[in-house]
Structure 1
Amino acid sequence: MFDVYITRAGKYLPNEPVSNDDMEGILGLINETTSKARRIVLRNNGITNRYYAVDKQGNITHNNAQLTHNAIKELYDEDFTKNDVELLSCGTASPDNLFPSHAAMVHGLMDNRPIELNASSGVCCAGMNALKYGFLSVRSGNTKNAVCTGSERSATWMLANKFNNEIINLKSLEEQPVIAFKKEFLRWMLSDGAGALLLEDKPRGEISLKIEWMESYSYAHEYEACMYAGGDKLEDGSLKPWQDYDAEEWLKQSIFSVKQDVKLLDEHVMRLGSLSTKNALDKHGVNPADVDYLLPHVSSNFFGGKLYQALLANGVDIPEEKWFLNLSRVGNVGAASIYLMVEELMNSGKLKKGEKLLLVVPESGRFTYSIAYLTVC
């Protein structure tokens, strides 16, 4: 078994940062009406800037594969080129196509040579699942290196024109032409971007991050879906998939929109996240006091204080001055968020050899959690 190190980190955030006041101008007005929910959601999530792969004129500028490839290119130099990559492992919740896989589409842009591919689906944990695949490959000696990515292109899912047919349908039924909060909520939460990490079996440069371990926990056997797309939830909590709807219903009911059961989220996401973190630390005999930096992927600052209290309730006391967050500056980028945090901290000049980093990523899709423990080398 080989040690595994994150030796380089790259990112790509498209176009200029988008302020809260500029969001609706880019995403558009649903039913030509200013959103009543926007200010409430933004006040709670604390995000002040985010990035969209859509310019201010409404033109789409990048697809997901292009965002990911641009982040990967940040890993290259004369000592490590595209032809040195042995494994590409990509995670996203918003691939450009149902198939070929997201990893295959990214590899097509790399224009290098035959390599091993892995594509991880899901929501926020898709990026961590991609990282774990690369970690296990290098650790086992299957490959000497792996490029792992997390990326999202969510803005195009949230454009107002995606909801036009549902509004027309509601009007024809003489119902109030208002999109359900479970659909509109995420219009003000999600953004675009990509991060990439190079994993190798030896440290490189001034700073590397040794991956000590990674753990994942799913609670899908206990709880129904909380965040979903490409289907709709029935009264019994099950999901009816898009293939089972007539084609005209896809538009009339915005079946492909991203939806969030906010009540279910608030009830379970922090409690299960703190329990998973506790279990992972106990399994590996890690004292929370030894953690120098906690990098929690929280979708909203609203959950920051709740997460701290939930961790305390499980005996995990990591003071908030040890937390590293960039949510307000880059937005909630789903599977890419943890990559963007690692990249920013790794390249900040703040890290000192021997320090410990704890990564905690929740996924509200059906409540999955990924935790990783790193040592600065």
Structure 2
Amino acid sequence: MFEVYITKSGKYLPNEAVSNDEMENFLGKVNDTASKARRIILRNNGIQSRYYALDQNGQTTHTNADLTNRAIEELYDENFTKKDVELLSCGTSTPDNLLPSHAVMVHGLMKNHSLELNSSSGVCCAGMNSLKYGFLSIKSGNTKNAVCTGSERVSSWLKADKYNNEVVNLQKLEEQPVIAFKKDFLRWMLSDGAGAFLLENQPKGDISLRIDWMESYSFAYELEACMYAGGDKLENGEIKPWSDYNSEEWLKESIFSIKQDVKDLDKYILEKGSDCIQTTLEKHKMNPANFDYFLPHVSSNYFVDKFYNAMISRGMDFPKEKWFMNLTKVGNVGSASIYLMVEELMNSGKLKKGEKILLIVPESGRFSYAHACLTVC
């Protein structure tokens, strides 16, 4: 078995940062009406700026594959070029197409040579799953290097025109022409961007991060879906897939919009997340004192104190001075968020050899969690 190191990290955030007051200029107003929920949601999530692959007219400027490839290009230098890549592993919640896979589309833009591909789907854990595939490939000796990515291009899913047919339908039914909170909520939470890691079986340069272990958990066997798209939730909790609706319903009911059951989110995300962190630490005979940095992907600052208290109640005290987050300035970029945090910390000049970093990524899709331990080398 080989050691695995993150030897370089890259990112790509499209266009200019978008402030809270500018968001509706890019995403538009549903039914030409300003969202009543927007200010409340933004006050709770604490995000001050984010990035969209849109211009101010709402026109798309980049595909997801393009964002990903641009982040990957940050990994190349005189010692590592696109011709040296042995494995490409890409994770995203928002691929450009149902098929071919996201990794295939990214590889098409790389224009290098034939190589092994892996596409990880899901929600926020998709980026960690793509990382684990690369980690295991190098660990086993299958490849000597891997490029792993997490990316999202969700802005085009959140544009007002995606919901207007539903509003028209509600008006015809003489109902309030306002989209449900489970849909409006996410319009002010999510943003675009991509992150990339180069994994190798030897450390390189001034700073490398050795991946000591990775752990994953799913609670889908006991909990309903919480965040979903391409279907709708029935009264019994099952998801009716888009292909079982007729094409008129796709528009009338915004079937392809991203939705979140905020009641289930609040009820389970911290409870299950704290439980499995405790399980991970016990498995590896570690405790919070072993870590110098704690990098949690938190979708909203609303959850920060709640998360801290949930861990304290289980005997895990990660002091706030160890927390490293960039949610406020880059937004919630789903599967790319953990890559963007690691990239910023790795290039901050703060890290010292021997320090340990704990990565925590929750996913509210159907409540999955992924963890990783890194050592600075």
Band of TM-score, shorter chain: over 0.9
- Superposition deviation, residue 290 in structure 1: 1.1
Tell me which residue corresponds to 2:187: 187
Tell me which residue corresponds to 1:120: 120
Summarize deviations over 1:171-192 as a string: whole Å, max 9, x none. 1111110000000000000000
Give the Cα separation in 2 of the matches to 1:238 and 1:149. 31
Give the Cα separation in 2 of the matches to 1:56 and 1:307. 36
Summarize deviations over 1:203-245 as a string: whole Å, max 9, x none. 0000000000000000000100000000000000110000000
Give the Cα separation in 1 of the matches to 2:183 and 2:229. 10
Tell me which residue corresponds to 2:135: 135
The residue identity in structure 2 corresponding to 1:364 is S
Tell me which residue corresponds to 2:310: 310
Tell me which residue corresponds to 2:102: 102
Considering only aligned residues, what root-mean-square deviation do their CA atoms show, in Å?
Answer: 0.5
The residue identity in structure 2 corresponding to 1:349 is G
Tell me which residue corresponds to 1:35: 35
The residue identity in structure 1 corresponding to 2:219 is Y
Give the TM-score normalised by structure 1: 1.00
Tell me which residue corresponds to 2:87: 87
Mind listing any 5+ residue stretches in structure 2 that lack a counterpart?
none
Tell me which residue corresponds to 1:201: 201
- Superposition deviation, residue 73 in structure 1: 0.1
Give the Cα separation in 2 of the matches to 1:375 and 1:177. 53
- Superposition deviation, residue 57 in structure 1: 2.1
The residue identity in structure 2 corresponding to 1:204 is K
Give the Cα separation in 2 of the matches to 1:143 and 1:36. 52
Give the Cα separation in 2 of the matches to 1:107 and 1:314. 44
Tell me which residue corresponds to 2:248: 248
Give the Cα separation in 2 of the matches to 1:204 and 1:273. 33
Tell me which residue corresponds to 1:326: 326
- Superposition deviation, residue 286 in structure 1: 1.1
Tell me which residue corresponds to 2:232: 232
The residue identity in structure 1 corresponding to 2:29 is L
The residue identity in structure 1 corresponding to 2:159 is L
Give the Cα separation in 1 of the matches to 2:25 and 2:33. 12
The residue identity in structure 2 corresponding to 1:343 is E
The residue identity in structure 1 corresponding to 2:122 is G
Q: Does 1:215 align with 2:211?
A: no
Mind listing any 5+ residue stretches in structure 1 that lack a counterpart?
none
Any idea what SS the aligned residue of 2:147 has?
A: strand
Summarize deviations over 1:118-138 as a string: whole Å, max 9, x none. 000000000000000000000
- Superposition deviation, residue 56 in structure 1: 1.2
The residue identity in structure 2 corresponding to 1:149 is T
Give the Cα separation in 1 of the matches to 2:323 and 2:342. 12
Give the TM-score normalised by structure 2: 1.00
Summarize deviations over 1:56-106 as a string: whole Å, max 9, x none. 122210000000000000000110000000000000000000010000000
Tell me which residue corresponds to 1:13: 13
Give the Cα separation in 2 of the matches to 1:145 and 1:202. 9
Over 3 Å off, 4+ runs:
none
The residue identity in structure 2 corresponding to 1:128 is M
Summarize deviations over 1:140-178 as a string: whole Å, max 9, x none. 000000000000001000000001110111111111100
- Superposition deviation, residue 312 in structure 1: 1.0
Give the Cα separation in 2 of the matches to 1:270 and 1:290. 22
Tell me which residue corresponds to 2:175: 175
Deviates more, 1:307-316 or 1:198-207: 307-316
Tell me which residue corresponds to 2:355: 355
Any idea what SS the aligned residue of 1:225 has?
A: coil
Give the Cα separation in 2 of the matches to 1:313 and 1:238. 33
Tell me which residue corresponds to 2:60: 60
State how many pairs are aligned: 377
Tell me which residue corresponds to 1:341: 341
- Superposition deviation, residue 280 in structure 1: 0.7
Give the Cα separation in 1 of the matches to 2:81 and 2:280. 35
Deviates more, 1:220-229 or 1:50-59: 50-59
- Superposition deviation, residue 288 in structure 1: 1.3
- Superposition deviation, residue 139 in structure 1: 0.3
Any idea what SS the aligned residue of 2:90 has?
A: strand
Paired-residue identity, %: 71
Give the Cα separation in 1 of the matches to 2:313 and 2:117. 41
